[in-house]
């Protein structure tokens, strides 16, 4: 936000100094056209999906997906919502995983970051390297998968959707550099008053880190909401699917759609498969579209915090 205002002021001052010379006009025309084109390219695909989701199935079968809605129909959505066991379960699972996962991620990143930025913590360099090394070298997918499935019992376990993603070294580094800028005097005076380190973190550091918490929370929430990878690796049980994985299955196999038709009591040939695929896509990104206008600026802010001090 601040830098947008700043850019605004800057252009205002320029405006007053130089009245529109030809080069500035030319640049602005080209710039406007480019920005307009790229905005359309970024948004138009979503329009197509929404149009597809509201189009009558027979029309899609005979004429394909369209740029407009030739014949309006809610069949795709109706059938999606007729399946409380599967799609609503996927919604519930995704919300559950996102809330728990985001909460734990924020705690893990800030708590670890707080300890590692404490200048009086004697082993902070050693621990920092211990964490950082994992970004340079890793064991790869195969040992990880076998460890999770054979030794940790992650197969068909909802824990597998949350636990592997609750700690990110990059988020911890962002937290560390943010908290480092909070004056040490706060920790010092609280120590003199006899507060212990955990209380200092919870009562003093956290309330001063609201912008950090907002940014990390949004990054994590987005990651958990959009996660299909853990679900694909570990979950076979349909009642434990997340939204994204459910969508992936619907797009990928007729089989998944057939099961859905069975449960809804609709004969397979009459199943509005195409409009349903699009309806399911809209359902899975719906909440993101709804909150997007309100949270977008925190992402921009967070990126600049993280980028400067990576």
Give the torsion sign (CA, 189, 191, 196, 201): positive
Instruction: Report in angstroms how near the CB of residue 64 gets to another protein at its nearest.
Output: 4
**Is 241 in a helix, a strand, or coil?**
coil
Exposure on the CB side of residue 185, measured as CA atoms within 13 A: 1
Do the beta carbons of residue 252 and residue 265 sit within 8 Å?
A: no
Among 141, 183, 194, 255, binds another protein (CB under 8 A): 141
Task: Please give the residues from 87 up to 126 whose contact with another protein meets the rule CB under 8 A.
Answer: 108, 111-112, 114-116, 118-123
Q: Report phi then psi at 55, rounded to 5.
A: -90, 140
Pick one of 130, 159, 181, 254: the residue that binds another protein (CB under 8 A): 130
- 235 burial (CB, 10 Å; 0-12 / 13-18 / 19+) is buried
Q: CA–CA separation, 72 vs 77, rounded Å?
A: 12
Q: Which two tokens stand for residue 160?
A: 């597998």
Q: Which is nearer to another protein, 19 or 265 (CB)?
A: 19
Distance (Å, whole) CA 113 – CA 176:
4
Out of 16, 19, 136, 265, the residue judged to bind another protein by CB under 8 A: 136
Q: Candidates 45, 153, 211, 286: give the one binding another protein (CB under 8 A).
A: 45
Distance of closest approach, residue 129 Cβ to another protein, in angstroms: 8
Element (H, E) at 50: helix 22-53
- Region 165-224 residues binding another protein, contact defined as CB under 8 A: 166-167, 172, 184, 187-188, 191-192, 196-198, 201, 222
Residue 261: CB minimum distance to another protein, A = 19
Find residue 55's DSSP bridge partners: 72
Least distance (Å) between residue 238 CB and another protein: 17
Residues 162, 159: Cα–Cα separation, whole Å: 5
Task: Identify the residue among 16, 19, 72, 139 touching another protein (CB under 8 A).
Answer: 139
Q: Which stretch binds another protein (CB under 8 A): 74-82, 90-98, 147-155, 257-265?
A: 147-155
- Does position 293 interact with another protein (CB under 8 A)? The reply is yes
Near another protein in 3-22, by CB under 8 A: 3-4, 6-8, 10-11, 14-15, 17-18, 21
- What is the rounded distance in angstroms from the CA atom of residue 41 to the CA atom of residue 219? 24
Nearest approach, Cβ of 265 to another protein (angstroms)?
Answer: 26
Compute the least distance from the CB of residue 289 to another protein, in Å. Answer: 9
Is residue 105 within 8 Å of 221, Cβ to Cβ?
A: no
- Check residue 145 for interaction with another protein (CB under 8 A): yes
Q: Does 281 bind another protein (CB under 8 A)?
A: yes
């Amino acid at each position: 936000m601040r830098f947008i205002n700043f850019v605004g002021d800057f252009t205002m001052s320029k405006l007053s100094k130089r009245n529109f010379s030809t080069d500035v006009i030319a640049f602005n025309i080209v710039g406007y056209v480019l920005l307009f084109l790229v905005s359309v390219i970024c948004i138009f695909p979503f329009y197509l999906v929404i149009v597809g989701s509201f189009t009558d199935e027979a029309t899609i079968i005979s004429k394909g997906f369209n740029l407009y809605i030739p014949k309006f129909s809610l069949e795709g959505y109706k059938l999606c919502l007729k399946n409380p066991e599967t799609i609503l379960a996927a919604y519930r699972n995704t919300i559950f995983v996102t809330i728990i996962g985001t909460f734990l991620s924020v705690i893990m990143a800030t708590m670890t970051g707080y300890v590692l930025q404490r200048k009086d913590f004697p082993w902070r360099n050693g621990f920092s390297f211990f964490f950082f090394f994992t970004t340079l070298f890793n064991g790869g997918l195969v040992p990880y998968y076998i460890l999770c499935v054979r030794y940790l019992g992650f197969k068909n376990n909802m824990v597998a959707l949350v636990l592997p993603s609750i700690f990110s070294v990059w988020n911890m580094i962002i937290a560390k550099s943010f908290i480092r800028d909070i004056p040490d005097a706060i920790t010092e005076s609280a120590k003199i008053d006899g507060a212990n380190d955990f209380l200092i973190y919870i009562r003093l550091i956290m309330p001063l880190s609201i912008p950090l918490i907002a940014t990390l929370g949004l990054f994590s929430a987005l990651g958990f909401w959009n996660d299909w990878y853990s679900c694909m690796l570990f979950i076979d049980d349909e009642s434990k699917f997340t939204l994204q994985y459910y969508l992936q299955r619907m797009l990928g196999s007729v089989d998944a759609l057939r099961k859905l038709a069975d449960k809804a009591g609709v004969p397979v040939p009459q199943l509005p498969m195409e409009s349903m695929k699009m309806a399911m896509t809209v359902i899975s990104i719906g909440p993101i579209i709804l909150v997007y206008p309100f949270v977008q600026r925190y992402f921009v802010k967070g990126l600049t915090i993280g980028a400067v001090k990576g």
